[in-house]
Amino acid sequence: MSSIDSQNPKVFALVLAAGRSRRFGGDKRQAALPCGRTLLTASLENARNEFGNVGLVLRTDDDAEALGIPADVTIIRSEHADLGMGHSLASGIAALMDSAAEAVAILLADMPWIKPQTLRDLAAMANPQRIAVPMHGGQRGHPVIIGRQFWPTLLTLEGD
């Protein structure tokens, strides 16, 4: 397991994976894709390919090894993940506060088909004073890049 330190690059990727997948009917993070990888490992691979450092927000009872998490991914535990994604995001941001990152890319663990160019384009727009959101067909999408200036507000998030 990797750790967050002051040598992080400009953008730190934070993958949110602490949900219970209740609507899915099982742990969707472990759902097998046609390529043989799981939904989670494919999503992590995309983040690892485009960002220097990647953090993964998990529940306190998750087994990172059983989920197949690579050693270079920083594991962040969200003690209150069951209270909603806001709590998970706040946990992830709290873990980054002492890093040198200027911005964070917020990715979801169930989005393995985000195009690498989308990640590169968003990372290029990263700025401590900016929030960058991809658009497709007039709709906002994922991931979102959030500049450091906004992190204190994210620490207060709760629920969904």
Mean pLDDT of 98-118: 92
Question: What distance in Å separates the CA atoms of residue 18 and residue 85, rounded to the nearest whole number?
Answer: 8
Locate 35 and state its tokens.
Answer: 């390529």
Query: Under CATH, which architecture does the 11-154 domain have?
Result: Alpha-Beta Complex (3.90)
Question: What distance in Å separates the CA atoms of residue 83 and residue 67, rounded to the nearest whole number?
Answer: 22
State what percent of residues in the chain have pLDDT above 90. 49
Averaged pLDDT score across all residues of the chain: 84
Question: What distance in Å separates the CA atoms of residue 58 and residue 44, rounded to the nearest whole number?
Answer: 13
Using H for helix, E for strand and C for coil, what is the string for the chain? CCCCCCCCCCEEEEEECCCCCCCCCCCHHHCECCCCCEHHHHHHHHHHHHCCEEEEEEECCCCCCCCCCCCCEEEEEECCHHHCHHHHHHHHHHHHCCCCCCEEEEEECCCCCCCHHHHHHHHHCCCCCCEECCEECCEECCCEEEEHHHHHHHCCCCCC
**pLDDT tens track for 59-86:** 888 888 988 899 999 999 988 776 677 7
Residue 8 — very low, low, confident or very high, per pLDDT cuts 50/70/90? Answer: very low
Closest of 20, 25, 24, 4 to residue 80, by C-alpha: 20
Domain boundaries defined on the chain: 11-154
**Model pLDDT, residue 82:** 65
Question: What distance in Å separates the CA atoms of residue 5 and residue 136, rounded to the nearest whole number?
Answer: 34
- Which has more pLDDT, 155 or 26? 155
Please tell me whether the peptide bond between 143 and the residue prior to it is cis, using omega within 30 degrees of 0.
Answer: yes
